[in-house]
Amino acid sequence: MKRKPTVFGNWKLHNTLKDSEELARAIIDGAAPYADRCHVGFAPVFTALCTVAEHTRKSTTCTLLAQNGYPKPNGAFTGEVSFSLIKDVGCTGVLVGHSERRHLFGESDELVGEKVESALQTGLTVVLCLGETLDEREAGHTWEVVDRQLTSAMFHVPPALRDKVIIAYEPVWAIGTGKTATPLQAQEVHALIRKRIEENWLAESAQSTVILYGGSVNAKNAQELFSQPDIDGALVGGASLKPESFLEIIKAAAESAATK
Task: Using a pLDDT cut of 90, give the percent of the chain over it.
Answer: 88
Average pLDDT of span 98-112: 97
Cβ atoms within 10 Å, residue 113: 22
How far is 103 from 81, CA to CA, in rounded Å?
20
Average pLDDT of span 38-51: 98
pLDDT surpasses 90 at 29: yes
How far is 27 from 168, CA to CA, in rounded Å?
21
Taken in order 149, 189, 137, 42, the sign of the CA dihedral is negative
Task: Using a pLDDT cut of 70, give the percent of the chain over it.
Answer: 100
pLDDT surpasses 90 at 205: no
If pLDDT is split at 50, 70 and 90, which confidence band does 40 have? very high
Q: Specify the pLDDT at position 176.
A: 77
Q: HSE of 70 in the Cβ direction (CA atoms, 13 Å)?
A: 13
Cβ atoms within 10 Å, residue 48: 22
How far is 244 from 128, CA to CA, in rounded Å?
26
Angle at 153 between CA 147 and CA 159, to 5 degrees: 105
For 150, the 3-state DSSP assignment is helix
Q: Specify the pLDDT at position 234.
A: 98
If pLDDT is split at 50, 70 and 90, which confidence band does 181 have? confident
Average pLDDT of span 207-228: 95
DSSP string, 101-149: HHHHS---HHHHHHHHHHHHHHT-EEEEEE---HHHHHTT-HHHHHHHH
pLDDT surpasses 80 at 202: no
Rounded to the nearest 10 degrees, the angle between the axes of helix 183-200 and helix 142-154 is 40
pLDDT surpasses 90 at 195: yes
Q: Specify the pLDDT at position 1.
A: 62
- Is domain 6-259 given the CATH code 3.20.20.70 in the classification? yes
Summarised one tens digit per residue, pLDDT across range 60-89 is 999 999 999 999 999 999 999 999 999 999
Q: Specify the pLDDT at position 179.
A: 80
Measured CA to CA in angstroms, residue 82 lies from 9, 13, 43, 76 at distances of 21, 19, 16, 12
| pLDDT, the chain, mean | 95
Average pLDDT of span 229-237: 97
Average pLDDT of span 41-56: 98
The domain ranges of the chain are 6-259
How far is 208 from 177, CA to CA, in rounded Å?
31
For 152, the 3-state DSSP assignment is helix
Q: Specify the pLDDT at position 258.
A: 82
Point out the residues that are catalytic: 98, 170
